[in-house]
Structure 1
Amino acid sequence: MRDLGTPVLDDHLHLDREGARGIDAVREFARAGGTHLLVVNKPSWHLGVEAETGADFRAVFEETERIVADASEELRGRAWPVLGVHPGLISRLVDERGFGPDEAADLMCAGLDAAAEYAAEGDAVALKSGRPHYEVSDAVWDASNRVLRHALERAAETGVALQLHTEATEDLTDVAAWAEDAGQPPERVVKHYASGTLAGVTKSVMCEKDYLDEAVDSGEPFLMETDYVDDTDRPGAVMGPKTVPRRVAWLQERGDDEAVRRAHVETPEAVYGIDTEATLD
């Protein structure tokens, strides 16, 4: 097991115990030098849950809690859950299940309410929400933004961070303003799948070298992620579990130790309230 001399956190990935690599992916991450994970629940329908009520999402959250506990057993550090409702659900509800946009938004908000109950008990360090990254109707877009604003309110109430899945953009100052209105510090809102430049909220940078160059040069807080999906039909997608440790080693070889500390110690503490140093064996 490689020791890179620092905590190494993958800020956003998915794990699946059934029909995918699951804990084997965690072991691969750990062998490469990875120490900590933020495990985001898979989209509910990927786990066979076609929710009718907010409570129906609990099966998804419970499965995520179980695999997080298993992952922590394999790491020098530990894993934490991020729980919520994937914003792409609105299209599934509207296009495939006959929901109206507002009715779909109500169900998704109820799912976020269920996730917030876990967060309030200390069983999640962040909620997950967002809005579609693809073209949708104005009605679906407006309903999605209502869900996002509800997630900001629930994150503020429970005192946790919020991870967002959004359109490709380098400007989320609109969301930052909504966060302030909700009482959620914008720096505790994270855009997952970010490039190296982002205004408004904290960026969780996909581990492309060009993006990391931008993030390091910015001097701003940032996190690093793979968005590994753990799907046997798409092995290694989006990035494989060894990627973050390998990129940390690459940054160290360049002398960017301060940036490594920023991404893997300072920003996780500021955003999620987690201590990646104290939780190392």
Structure 2
Amino acid sequence: MTAPQLETPVLDDHLHLDPRHGRGMAAVEDFRNLGGTHLLVVNKPSWHLGVEPEEPDDFRAVFEETLEIVAEASELLPGRAWPVLGVHPGLISRLVDDRGFTPKEACELMCGGISVAAEYVADGDALALKSGRPHYEVTEAVWETSNEVTRHAFSLGAEHDCAVQLHTEASEDLRELAEWATECGLESHCVVKHYASGRLRGPTPSVMSERERLERAAERGDPFLMETDFVDDPDRPGAVLGPKTVPRRVRWLLEEGYEDAVRLAHVETPRRVYGIDTEATLDR
């Protein structure tokens, strides 16, 4: 059943789609039928797609598959989807702990993978980059290496005038990362903290669409985005949030009187961070 159309664009800022193993376009249809209009589709971690990279070009298979998924999703949406490409920071643990890479070797491979992702941005095929550092405890060498990879992503974001989505530890203060971005020439508001709470100092928060977090973000009035981090993994059906969540939470925010916050999250902040126009790309 299709819900009544919302009088606003509805963007999920961070989710994954996996037609090979997961729900794929059925998840996109669920999002659309509840009122969703736009998606930022982040490539799944390379190992989830059976890619164990030895060199940077090995990531191309992951990126190309993501572009195909995005094109298919765009056909189903009243708005469109955009790809966000990069290297999941958890890869460093697989490389160092499981495959015998040194932190330096892992850094070179991961930086190379993000450089390949940046080629797609330069060609106009991808919207933004993805990077970050582990959200779990690691050795000091791995931590420093991960920070080096993140700085590389910031430099590429500055070079190609694109945002960088970050996967990091849980925190409400990431001013240091925002400062690193600025030092690399990337404006701090173009750094997006994926899986954010309703409060964040430094980057732009992409807030997990739970009511408490969203209410906190709406009350603050600062720029924010909304996401589900839907993983589209049949082995983890209850993991994170489902594809219907963002449109449902937009309806709830409107019912609670947060019209300005909805416009901020789905029109103004996407324009400011990514340079996208969710109204002009909406076919009503």
The CA distance in 2 between the partners of 1:168 and 1:77, in whole Å, is 31
In the alignment, which residue of structure 2 is the partner of 1:209? 211
Deviation at 1:125, TM superposition (A): 1.0
Matches within 5 A, 1:168-187: 168-187=170-189
| Counterpart residue number, 2:274 | 272
Structure 2 residue aligned with 1:234: 236
- Tell me, in whole angstroms, the C-alpha distance in 2 between the residues paired with 1:10 and 1:150: 26
Counterpart of 1:130, as a letter, is: G
| Aligned 1:75-94 pairs, distance under 5 A | 75-94=77-96
- The aligned amino acid for 1:129 is S
* Alignment-derived partner of residue 157 in structure 1: 159
C-alpha distance in structure 2 between counterparts of 1:153 and 1:197, whole Å: 26
CA distance in 1, matches of 2:51, 2:236: 21
Partner Cα separation in structure 2 for residue 74 and residue 237 of structure 1: 24
* Distance in 1, Cα, partners of 2:46 & 2:243: 22
Q: How far off its partner does 1:236 sit?
A: 4.2
TM-score by length of 2: 0.98
Q: Secondary structure, in 3 states, of the residue corresponding to 1:127?
A: strand
Q: Once the 2 structures are TM-superposed, how far is the Cα of residue 192 of structure 1 from its aligned partner?
A: 0.2
Q: Indicate the residue corresponding to 2:29 in structure 1.
A: 27
Q: Which SS does the other structure have where 1:73 is aligned?
A: helix
Q: Which runs of 5+ in 1 are unaligned?
A: none
Give secondary structure in 1 for the equivalent of 2:68: helix
Letter in 1 for 2:152: H
Confirm whether residue 243 of structure 1 aligns to residue 236 of structure 2: no
Question: How far 1:124 sits from its partner (Å)?
Answer: 1.0
Q: CA offset at residue 234 of structure 1?
A: 1.2
Q: Deviations over 1:32-57 (max 9, x none)?
A: 10000000000001000000111000
Paired AA for residue 234 in structure 1: R
4+ long deviations beyond 6 Å: none
Return 5+ residue gaps in structure 2 as ranges: none
Secondary structure in 1 matching 2:13: strand
> Quick check: 1:109–1:147 contact (8 Å CA) kept in 2?
yes
SS in 2 for 1:16: coil
Q: What is the distance in 1 between the residues matched to 2:279 and 2:28?
A: 19
Aligned partner of 2:124 among 122, 125, 130: 122
Q: CA deviation at 1:102?
A: 1.1
C-alpha RMSD of the superposition? 0.6
Displacement of 1:255 in angstroms is 1.1
Q: Which amino acid is the alignment partner of residue 72 of structure 1?
A: S
Deviation at 1:237, TM superposition (A): 2.3
Contact 1:202–1:221, Cα closer than 8 Å, also in 2: yes
Q: For this pair of structures, how many residues does the alignment match? A: 281
* Cross-structure match for 1:49: 51
What CA distance in whole angstroms lies between the structure 2 residues aligned with 1:23 and 1:234?
A: 18
Letter in 2 for 1:48: G
